[in-house]
Amino acid sequence: MTFVTGKHLSRRMMLRGVGAAFALPFLDAMRPAFAATGATPKAVRLGVVYVPNGIIMKDWTPAQTGTSFEFTRILKPLEQHRQHITVVSGLSNHMAAKAQGGAHAKASGGFLSASAPKHTAGADVRAGKTFDQVVADKFAADVRVPSLQLGCEDSRMIGNCDTGSSCAYTNTISWRTPETPMAVEVNPRSLFERLFGTVDPSLDPQTKARRALYKKSILDITRENAQALTGTLGATDKRKMDEYLTAIREVETRLEKSEKDPEIATGEKPAGIPFEYREYVRLMFDLQLIAFQSDLTRVSTMMLGREGSVRTYPEIGVPDPHHPLTHHRNHPDFIEKVTKINEFHAELFSYYLGKLASTQDGDGSLLDHSVILYGGAISDGNGHGNHNLPLLVAGHAGGIKGGRHVAAPEQTPAANLFLSMMESAGVPQQTFGDSTGKLDLNVS
């Protein structure tokens, strides 16, 4: 295998072994190839991290606007990333308010498309193409995986999940076309194989053999080529490769541990899903990060839970199901438990931001070259509010400064934010959904 042409590495180069292949992180050795063509190596990543069932808004929204805002109780776990965060308030999910159907289904079903989902529990679902897929289309030819759709809970797309509304509306937030919801991957092992295995989704004998091969490390499979490549690199690139390969090894180890977890009965969960929710989410975030780092994909959405989720959180002292708690009827104990869940989700997102910020990518970090939306399509879960949504943007792609709270005029469409994010990702659009113009994320 030839690694170097004129001592320059191709950005699309991959390490290969029998039944396995993975891309490389951006290395200094790749810079001359870009310089020769006048191109820049600043690929932008677009992400969405979705929180279900609403937020306790009094403990989410900062009282101050601009750069001097104070972090509220729910946002407190993110304070260490202040310079990378833009909190946005005042945005509305207008189309959900106008739509028919279950409150949760119509909120999440049309959220990222700023459209009104059709009220149906049948196969004739319809919402709208989501803005993440608009960006994914732009970069599809440049990456191995056009987009990732990840989740940490039930991902079925058929059936009635909310008052006569299809499960497609509650269990995914990404739509390829108005009639095509994108299936959500919830199994870390399956995701790992999709990213690093040969592209073969069927369960034929070759696939089964490949899965057996994964009992060996993917790094063992590609060791010879990896060693040959590393020998051609400078000191800085060797360090980057070591960090990248170490991250892959750590993910493999955690996958193997979760598959051997004695607390998981055979057949109770798909192989590769950790027993503890915290470890589950972190593993999914780490896989997402590796996919971004290696430029396997530039677009990803991840649901921390589906809308209407009844997950319990005993690890933080909340053994009650999530969704019923959000119908708190102003009961202090219920509100406190929901707030704890909201804090926990923010803590997990903080972990992800920390990893993005510490991962080198060209002349900055992955977070410098990313624009990531965090939040949900419902504000107060007790009333299923569609206005003043709990949203923030992390990252600096497209010149986003960060470190501020931007208060949009009340009733501003959330689609205005999506327009701004698409522009930051390098895919500007004149209009989208019910937008009325781009939202300025750098307002002081």
Render 60-105 in DSSP notation, one character per residue.
TS-SS-BTTPPP-TTTGGGGGGGGGEEEEEEEE-HHHHH--S-HHH
Residues 189, 381: Cα–Cα separation, whole Å: 33
pLDDT value at position 6? 41
Side chain identity at residue 279, one-letter code? E
pLDDT value at position 352? 98
Assign 3-state DSSP to the chain and report helix, strand, coil percentages, each to 5.
40, 15, 45
Beta bridge partners of 405: 66, 87
Q: How many CB atoms within 10 Å of residue 91?
A: 27
pLDDT value at position 172? 97
pLDDT value at position 31? 63
Buried b (16+ CB within 10 A) or exposed e, 178-209: beebbbbbbbbbbbbbbbbbeeeeeeeeebee
Contact 216, 255 (CB under 8 A): no
Q: How far is CA 210 from CA 215, 216, 269, in A?
A: 9, 10, 21
Residues 301, 46: Cα–Cα separation, whole Å: 8
pLDDT value at position 231? 73
Contact 207, 200 (CB under 8 A): yes
- Domains of the chain, CATH where assigned: 42-186+273-424 (3.40.720)
Residues of the chain with pLDDT under 70: 1-22, 26, 31-41, 197-224, 261-272
What single DSSP character describes residue 318? Answer: B
At 15-53, the pLDDT tens digits run 666 555 667 776 777 765 554 554 445 799 999 999 999
- Taking the model in full, what pTM does it have? 0.87
Give the CA count within 13 Å in the CB-facing half-sphere of 259: 14
